[in-house]
Amino acid sequence: MTNIREIARLAGVSTATVSRVINDHPYVNAEKRRKVLEIIRQLDYVPNSSATSLKKGMTRIVGVVSASYTTSSTPFIQAFNIIAQQHGFNVMLFLTDNDCEKERIALEMLRSKQLDALVCLHRANEWPIIESYAKYGPIVTWQRLVSEHIPSVFMDQYQGYMLSLEHLYARGYRRILNVYSSRGLNTPQRIRAYDDFAKKYTLDDIGFPDLHHMMSIADGEHIARWWIEQSQKPEAIACSNDDVAAGLLTEFKRVGVSIPGDVAIIGFDNNDLARLLDLTTVHYPSDKQAENAFAILLDRLGQKAPPLHALEFELIERRST
Amino acid sequence: MTNIREIARLAGVSTATVSRVINDHPYVNAEKRRKVLEIIRQLDYVPNSSATSLKKGMTRIVGVVSASYTTSSTPFIQAFNIIAQQHGFNVMLFLTDNDCEKERIALEMLRSKQLDALVCLHRANEWPIIESYAKYGPIVTWQRLVSEHIPSVFMDQYQGYMLSLEHLYARGYRRILNVYSSRGLNTPQRIRAYDDFAKKYTLDDIGFPDLHHMMSIADGEHIARWWIEQSQKPEAIACSNDDVAAGLLTEFKRVGVSIPGDVAIIGFDNNDLARLLDLTTVHYPSDKQAENAFAILLDRLGQKAPPLHALEFELIERRST
DNA sequence: TTGTACGCGTTATCAG
DNA sequence: CTGATAACGCGTACAA
């Protein structure tokens, strides 16, 4: 095993000098520096990073906790990876599958100092448990959360959903079916948005059921079949996300229901599927959220952080409304 | 900072005893063990993992190098994550975007012992460069490669593509357009498969161009527009992957070309998109490939590894042929 | 500008 | 069964 002492011995200097050369300190004789670099090259030496981490008390690794790869989480993770790399941090990804124990692994690695910080896209454990880990290192979340220990980069979906509803109204749709998700605390915001929307335009309560816990393509397909059986049909369906909207759209097309002729569909997220299927949807800048998350972590680690982005929703009008 | 010495002092024992308790060694007096555990609990102590890694010469972190998240790489990465976690290893993901420098980061972390091993889905650097890192730790790849230093878990796409072509033939299609990708070394296998196929059934060379470097949805859309302009149209299109097939299918549907009435489409990979769009395609077990990759790494790390899976292609017949 | 010596926190050997 | 103590490899006061 070739270590710093070996290099020092061969170069005829002390380990301190070798260390200084490695870390680009000034005040090293040019000739000695050359000699040291020469030996390092000859022996193909690299500092052992466990030793460096131990000494510095930092690993420059940030953990990312996510339930799985979804069409909405992937862009966030990707953007986070890139910004972290630019700042010399590496990313360790934890797929928890919503399993508390797997999430604990990441939390425990923060505690044992294998991770400098953590960003939590979807949590499995209760917030108080996660908060109790904040004392071991900065944690930031993507979900809606108000906490003094855990900052969040969430966006209030009230605005985004309202954008979606206003679009439907402008297009002439009045009998709207809401399809809600269940993740995090977004659903209440959306319900509030619809209530305000219905009040603003004095829409009667038509008695459509509120559909909850809908988040997959398969869920969308089910709703399409449900729609077909109804006598009183909604004119438009506002979906919790693009996957549900995609399932809806493709199932409708299978059985010959025309979109948007017979019924309009609007999604949420603006993921790849929405682009592919020409779905009208609501876009939000998850890449900027990721960069904000990283900036916050960097700041809490006591390093100079880039400024935060402002975050805004945007309606993407395509051919399903 | 609470460390092992602190615990030892407070429990009135030596650091050696504390270490023994932590690592579940036998031969520790029950009473002392109890006392030590009590202090550990009180002080909320955890061993510093950098110190442990330094001492043990192992981090139990495995790097995964991938160009980006694609519909084909994601299932592999996910499966690899799961199997690694089951064996007490953590995974660090490197998104290289096909940038040699970014790939180097991962390679260098193997060299500096921050990583115990590496699996390389898509490489950016030339193979000789990657091979030169094999001396620092086990590396295994997903791509086709014959090397004594870097084992591979690739599957010979000759068989998979032949399965695809035989299916088209059985369905009565004769005028087949091949759409090739460019990743790795799979394309030559596919070309060989088509040559053998054409020879077996004595198909004339119809003079369709060989399309290369096609791998995205947008590529598929382009090909669809190309198809429409031709006077001599192919009856079936065999695609390099499901994304191309999906672009083809959706663009055809937009302009009213009937699938499979006017032209048949077959994909490759069996990803989520293929399921959604009812694409006939070829499935291969990337999850088993991932588990094999991990097993090989484990074996090379001198640990007991699970047996390797046999790998087989499978034709998934849906509604696009 | 350089070297000595110590500390980072842990594990393992070895003598008792 | 237990405790000193020597590594592991690096960075850095401090003294020179």
- Chain C positions within 7 A of any protein Cβ atom are 1-5, 7-13
Contact A135, A111 (CB under 8 A): no
pLDDT > 90: what percent of chain A?
Answer: 83
CA A70 – CA A8 distance, rounded (Å): 51
Nearest residue to B38 via CA among B12, B64, B76, B68: B12
**Torsion sign (Cα): A101, A103, A107, A110:** positive
Contact B39, B17 (CB under 8 A): no
| CB-nearest partner of A217 from B90, B102, B276 | B276
Task: Specify the nucleotide whose C1' lies closest to residue B26 (CA).
Answer: D1
- Residue A42 DSSP class: H
- Residue A149 DSSP class: S
CA A158 – CA B198 distance, rounded (Å): 59
- Chain D positions within 7 A of any protein Cβ atom are 1-13
Distance (Å) from the alpha carbon of A308 to chain B's nearest alpha carbon: 24
Contact between chains at A112 and B48 (C-beta distance less than 8 A): yes
pLDDT confidence of residue A95: 85
A262, A268, A269, A270 alpha-carbon torsion, rounded to 10°: 30
Summarize the confidence of residues A134-145 as an average pLDDT: 93
Count of H-run helices and E-run strands, chain B: 13, 9
| CB-nearest partner of B92 from A49, A90, A246 | A90
Summarize the confidence of residues A183-190 as an average pLDDT: 80
pLDDT confidence of residue A272: 87
pLDDT over 90 (residue A230): yes
Strand C and A54 CB separated by under 7 Å = yes
Closest residue in A to B54 (Cα) is A50
CA B270 – CA B287 distance, rounded (Å): 13
Tokens linked to A203: 């829409």
Q: pTM here? A: 0.86
Contact B242, B71 (CB under 8 A): yes
pLDDT confidence of residue B183: 60
B274 Ramachandran zone, left/alpha/beta (phi>0; psi -120 to 50): alpha
Q: A24 to each of A19, A73, A164, how far by Cα in Å?
A: 8, 39, 55
pLDDT > 70: what percent of chain A?
Answer: 99
Most confident of the ranges A207-221, A281-295, B92-106: A281-295
Chain segment A28-76, per-residue pLDDT in tens: 999 999 999 999 999 999 999 999 999 999 999 999 999 887 878 889 9
| Mean pLDDT, chain A, whole residue set | 93
Report mean pLDDT in 10-residue bins for chain B, 321 residues: 92 95 92 94 96 96 90 89 92 90 95 97 93 96 88 94 97 95 80 95 85 92 95 94 95 94 96 93 97 96 93 96 94
CA A7 – CA B225 distance, rounded (Å): 63
Strand (E) or helix (H) holding B266: strand B264-266
Contact between chains at B111 and A246 (C-beta distance less than 8 A): no
Angle subtended at Cα A224 by Cα A222 and Cα A229, rounded to the nearest 5 degrees: 100
Strand D and A53 CB separated by under 7 Å = no
Summarize the confidence of residues A261-274 as an average pLDDT: 94
DSSP per position, A181-220: --STTHHHHHHHHHHHHHHHTT-----PPPB-S--SHHHH
Q: What share of chain B is helix, strand, coil (3-state, %, to 5)?
A: 45, 10, 40
Chain B residues within an 8 Å CB radius of A95 = 78, 81-82
pLDDT over 90 (residue A284): yes
| CB-nearest partner of A46 from B90, B112, B250 | B112
Task: Specify the nucleotide whose C1' lies closest to residue B54 (CA).
Answer: D8
Task: Specify the nucleotide whose C1' lies closest to residue A55 (CA).
Answer: C8
Distance (Å) from the alpha carbon of A72 to chain B's nearest alpha carbon: 13
User: pLDDT: is B206 or A23 the higher one?
Assistant: A23
Distance from CA(B55) to C1'(D7), angstroms, rounded: 9
Closest residue in B to A101 (Cα) is B85
Chain A residues within an 8 Å CB radius of B65 = none
pLDDT confidence of residue A145: 80
Nearest residue to B284 via CA among B315, B310, B313, B245: B313
Hey, is B265 helix, strand or coil?
strand
pLDDT confidence of residue A184: 63
Hey, is B66 helix, strand or coil?
strand
CA A130 – CA A149 distance, rounded (Å): 10
pLDDT confidence of residue B109: 96
How many residue pairs from chains A and B have C-beta atoms closer than 8 A?
A: 94
Range in A89-98, A295-304, B103-112 with the lowest mean pLDDT: A89-98
What are the residues facing A92 on neighbouring strands?
A63, B92
Alpha-carbon Rg for chain B in angstroms: 26
Strand C and B28 CB separated by under 7 Å = no
pLDDT confidence of residue A183: 60
Strand C and B48 CB separated by under 7 Å = yes
| CB-nearest partner of A112 from B47, B69, B112 | B47
CA A150 – CA A300 distance, rounded (Å): 11
